[in-house]
Structure 1
Amino acid sequence: LLSRARAYVGPDTAVTHMAAALGIPTVALFGPSNPVKWGPWPKGCREDNPYRWRGTQKVNNVILLQGSGDCVPCMEEGCERNLQSDSACLQNLPTIDVIEALDGWLK
C-alpha cells in the first residue's frame, strides 16, 4: 500500500522512515526529535548525515518540517517532559507549511 502512494505526510515514526526509504515523496513532521539522529533517510542519499540540527530542510525525496522555538529540538517527551504532555513545537507547526510542502511534491 505504502509503495503505491504518490506522497506521504507523517510524524517521526517507522512509517515515515519506510516511506522515505521507498523513495516516496515524504513530508516528515519533526518537533522535539533530533533530526541528525532520527531523521528519515532519503533514498539514494550517500552523505554520512543528511540533516542539520534544526530547521526545515529538503534532501532528495524528503522534506523535513521542524517546529520553531529556541528549545527545538529539546529531545524531551513533551513540553512538560512526559508522554501525556503536548509538544508546542508540533502543535504550532503551521498547517500551511505542511500543505505547501505536500503541494510541491504533487505538482
Structure 2
Amino acid sequence: MRASRDTVPLLVWSSLNNATKLSNGKCRKVKQWDEKAAVDDYIPEAQQPSVILIPGGFAENLQKFDSLHPNPPDPKKFLLSRPVLRRTVTHTYTYIGEDYGPCVAAVIDHSEKWM
C-alpha cells in the first residue's frame, strides 16, 4: 500500500547526498546514496509534507572502523584519520544512537514550522 498525504501528515525522511552528482560523475556506483537522493527529488512531486534529514557520517563508525586515535601530546584530544579526504574537507557527523531520535522527535513536535 502506498502512503499518501491523507494517511501520513508529515514524512520524515533520512537521506544521503547524490554521490554521482556530488562527485561530478566520478563516483557512479554508490547505489544506496543515489537511490535515497532520488526519493528526495520525488517527495515534492508527490506533494507530501516532508522534512528531509541528511545526517552526514555516523559518529559511531569512527570508533568502529578505527578512525580515532589518541593525540600523543594531548591525551584528552583525538586525531581523526580519514584516508580519502584532504585536511581542508569539512566532516559532518551525527551520533545516531543518541542524537538522531531526539532530532526526529523535535521535527515532529514542531511540525507546524515545516508544513
Same-fold call, TM cutoff 0.5: no
TM-score of Structure 1 vs Structure 2, range by shorter chain? 0.3 to 0.5
Q: Which has the higher helix share?
A: 2
Q: Normalised by the size of structure 1, how large is the TM-score? A: 0.36
Q: Which has the higher strand share?
A: 2
Q: Radius of gyration: which is bigger?
A: 2
